[in-house]
Structure 1
Amino acid sequence: MTLGFLFPLACLVFLFRPAAGDPQTYHLGFGCSSYNATNATLFIADLNATFSNLRTRISAGNTLSATSDDPRSSVPLYALFFCRSYLSQVDCLSCLSDAVSRVRICGAASGGRAISDGCTLRYESAPFYDQGTLPGNTAKCANGTSAVAGFSEVVHGLVEDLSSGVPRIAGYSAAAERDGVYAYAQCAQTLSEDVCGKCLEVSYSNVQGCLPADGGRAVDAGCFMRYSDAAFFPANQTVDLAHILEGGSGKRLTVLEGVFGGLGGVFILALLALLWIRKSRSGDHEWKGDILGEMDLQGPVKFRYRDLKSATKNFSQENKLGEGGFGHVYKGTLKNGNTVAVKRLAIAQKESTKASFQSEVKLISNVHHRNLVRLLGCCSKSNDLLLVYEYMANGSLDKFLFGKSNELLSWKQRFDIIVGMARGIAYLHHEFHACIIHRDIKPSNVLLDDNFLPKIADFGLVRLMPGDQSHLSTKFAGTLGYTAPEYAIHGQLTEKVDTYSFGVVILEIISGRRNSEPKLEPVNHYLLEWAWNLYEEDGLEQLIDKSLNPEEYNLKEIKRFIKIALLCTQSIVAARPNMSDVVVLLLSQDDPELEPSRPIFFESSCRTRGDISVSAWSNSATHATVSVTQISAR
């Protein structure tokens, strides 16, 4: 091959690079991990070096994507950045700057992501380069309606062809135009062809939900899809999708092969050689491990009723694990030998409930966090609505705290349970794409696996209760003694309701006693009131469970946890920290700078009509008693 042939070919490639001037920084998605680095200063310095490394690789390598996983001194850092393939390098670098400025808001969070029209940036403290679709995948829809004839049908066919064709293209990206519709699809180059295909399948499904809107985007961890009735990429960037799709499922094609499908083989080989040289200079590399494994996000498994009936021995009393406000739970052994927990929902069998069951369960099944119980699948038959969860061998936390188990929890175990719970709740509030407020945080809703890892149960189920049509519905669904007063009395629901409940549970874990113990002397009846009195008297050591070995815990650490609990249960809602901040406070070695204000506590008694007497502390020393009728505690 002569240099005389390569020179005009190189010029041709240059001409197909778009002009600078539109980095497409319209914001689509942003998120921060609920985990924080222990040494924030050192971590942020390492993170800045990682961002600088990405910029250097983009600039020096003349590429639009880069990874960075150089060893760091604080915690491991893995970063991935990629621009849409139709951007110029100048615009790509501009998009990187915008993305970096956004994720800096995450501070010392161990993970962060920023997605815009023009680029995707993500960093984590664990390898993730092989991840395609993850919880949080969603669609972003425009507000207008297109005047293009047959617009929805054209979009449907075009994005379907892109989702099928892009995984076969080296570079995993393609732009196309058809009958006045413009569309683009892209996967991270670190993915395998199969993972790219699955990611785009989810994106294809999501983006169709925008129709008949005149524009839509599908945002996911490892891929991106967009359509519009207005051009958003240069005309010379389109590919011949028909040629690509005719190439067969086993053939990998390049984008420029799609553009120049009719040219001779020598021309294509020469072009591939040039692209290979450019790629080899970029410094990019794939992650070659399967550290995290592939996640199945195709919705919950649909179990057959007769299989679950057999697995639980016809929902026998012998297999019953417990019961709660949403129904009874049974231990089940499936035909493959796996042990599961089957929850038989006790909710009104209205048509509206049945209609929403599948969609709500799909939402819950996409929640993945090590401190949240995993929903494996569901079953709906006649009047039975069944949920299938992973089985937790050690049962619920309350039996270890309140005398139902002969095994005592050490302070190390209690420490890990408190921190794990905080991380799980923070994920529901701030990390999942839909904010889920649990509303019923208590020890019986915290399950423990073989290693006493805490997993919160029953999150999201309140949406299945009749009349509840929103994640932020004010329908009361809590347990008195754990429920924040503003929610129980006035129906005021925010994430801080869970913060309050979590604060009460911290006190129960540390003291080993329930939040209300009428058998004790009056001054100690209510745990929260007792804890506050001890805090004011500087006698918090009296709150610690006597079964704990003083040689196995740090008194200063436990006092810090009690103070955090009191911060969580303050009467002023805005004064309570959010759960992401609570995680930081728990893992910090320093005492919280803020001082808690006087909390609110409940005095609940079951009367004939189910009335609830609520005693609330004001900021003065006086007490006010309010009678709240017909609030049913579960």
Structure 2
Amino acid sequence: MLKGATCGFSSENLVGKSDFVHIYKGVLRDGTEVKIEMYWDNLSRETYKKFVEECKILCELDHKNLVRVLGWCKSRKFRAIITEWTEEENVEMWLLGSAPTWKHRLRVLIGVVECMCYLQDEWPEVDYDLNTNSVLLSNNMEPLISRFKVGDQEDNNSKMSKFGVFLLEMILSKKVQAEFDEGESGFIKYMRTLHSEDLLQMIDERMEETETTNHHVKKVISLGLLCIDQSSSEKPSLSVIFNTIATAYKASIVLPFAKHRMLHGDRSK
């Protein structure tokens, strides 16, 4: 089936390659576009058993903000994982190229938090990687967490800290993040020395922030700082995070409309 989906594993369908993995784009018999990751390694019987058990769990995951795992297989020479095909634009590329609005950034954050809630409630054994280059975007601009696995769970504080970095990267100018040679760790250290008012001077100006959104920008930035604050043993819960971001998103839709109605009424007097 995989051979047929990739036209015999043709070079035209090969989209990525390293010493241990070949990545193909393929089309299944029912027309479904897929990504096929073929790993050229020789697993022990015990390791292969763990691989199968993990794949069984990953195939059960079902959320609009998770890349779907459709199946797996193994031959004498390789093992393969088949996932739904997604365009390779990630959030980092989107932020750099599209200059998204405040409302659109909030919509992506909501999708990520909804997926985090789903995994926490339904599949606590599944861990995930959360950063702007591993979260993809679907054609209708839904965020898709693309890297996840079973086991090796991070504690809740670590997860919240990573989400805090993701949130701040969604709001701040890329120039701020590029200044740190230590990467994420240096970024976090510096962010922890700042107050929300300092961060307001560093936001991405392309968001076209207005007076009506300023209050919510402050709230969301403060939320990000709470998530990366190591001095506190308790991080914000996912429900608090979701409610804060959802409130800001609703305001980004309602307030401009309300302002338009007010101005229209003034002109008609």
Q: Deviations over 1:177-214 (max 9, x none)?
A: xxxxxxxxxxxxxxxxxxxxxxxxxxxxxxxxxxxxxx
Greater RCO, 1 or 2 (C-alpha within 8 Å, sep 6+): 2
Q: Give the alignment of 1:405-554 within 5 angstroms.
A: 406-432=97-123, 434-438=124-128, 440-460=129-149, 463=150, 471=151, 473=152, 493-513=154-174, 516-518=177-179, 526-535=186-195, 538-551=197-210, 554=213
Partner residue in 2 for 1:377: 71
Shift of the alpha carbon at 1:564? 0.9
**Which of 298, 302, 306 is matched with 2:3 structurally?**
306
Amino acid of the residue matched to residue 344 of structure 1? M
Shift of the alpha carbon at 1:571? 0.9
TM-score (norm 1): 0.35
Partner residue in 1 for 2:44: 350
Helix, strand or coil at the partner of 1:561? helix
Q: Deviations over 1:148-198 (max 9, x none)?
A: xxxxxxxxxxxxxxxxxxxxxxxxxxxxxxxxxxxxxxxxxxxxxxxxxxx
Distance of 1:306 and 1:458 partners within structure 2 = 25
Shift of the alpha carbon at 1:505? 0.7
Residues 192 and 229 of structure 2 are in contact (CA less than 8 Å); yes or no, is this contact kept in structure 1?
A: no
Distance of 1:347 and 1:584 partners within structure 2 = 45
Decide whether aligned partners of structure 1 residues 380 and 581 sit closer, same or farther in structure 2, where only a CA change above 3 A counts. Answer: farther
Distance of 2:75 and 2:228 partners within structure 1 = 42
Residues 59 and 71 of structure 2 are in contact (CA less than 8 Å); yes or no, is this contact kept in structure 1?
A: yes
Residues 418 and 506 of structure 1 are in contact (CA less than 8 Å); yes or no, is this contact kept in structure 2?
A: yes
Question: Which runs of no fewer than 5 residues in structure 1 stay unpaired?
Answer: 1-303, 464-470, 475-492, 590-634
Q: Between Structure 1 and Structure 2, how many residues are aligned?
A: 245
Partner residue in 2 for 1:59: none
TM-score (norm 2): 0.77
Is 1:581–2:240 an aligned residue pair? Answer: yes
Distance of 1:358 and 1:340 partners within structure 2 = 19
Shift of the alpha carbon at 1:346? 6.8
Larger Rg: 1
Shift of the alpha carbon at 1:573? 6.7
Distance of 2:40 and 2:238 partners within structure 1 = 30
Amino acid of the residue matched to residue 320 of structure 1? V
Amino acid of the residue matched to residue 82 of structure 2? V
Partner residue in 2 for 1:320: 15
- Of all paired residues, the percent bearing the same amino acid is 23
Helix, strand or coil at the partner of 1:452? coil
Q: Deviations over 1:415-448 (max 9, x none)?
A: 111111111112111233x43232x211122111
Shift of the alpha carbon at 1:557? 1.4
Residues 420 and 453 of structure 1 are in contact (CA less than 8 Å); yes or no, is this contact kept in structure 2?
A: yes
Helix, strand or coil at the partner of 2:127? coil
Distance of 2:225 and 2:112 partners within structure 1 = 17
Residues 396 and 444 of structure 1 are in contact (CA less than 8 Å); yes or no, is this contact kept in structure 2?
A: yes
Residues 341 and 391 of structure 1 are in contact (CA less than 8 Å); yes or no, is this contact kept in structure 2?
A: yes
Residues 41 and 78 of structure 2 are in contact (CA less than 8 Å); yes or no, is this contact kept in structure 1?
A: no
Q: Deviations over 1:44-91 (max 9, x none)?
A: xxxxxxxxxxxxxxxxxxxxxxxxxxxxxxxxxxxxxxxxxxxxxxxx
Shift of the alpha carbon at 1:509? 0.9
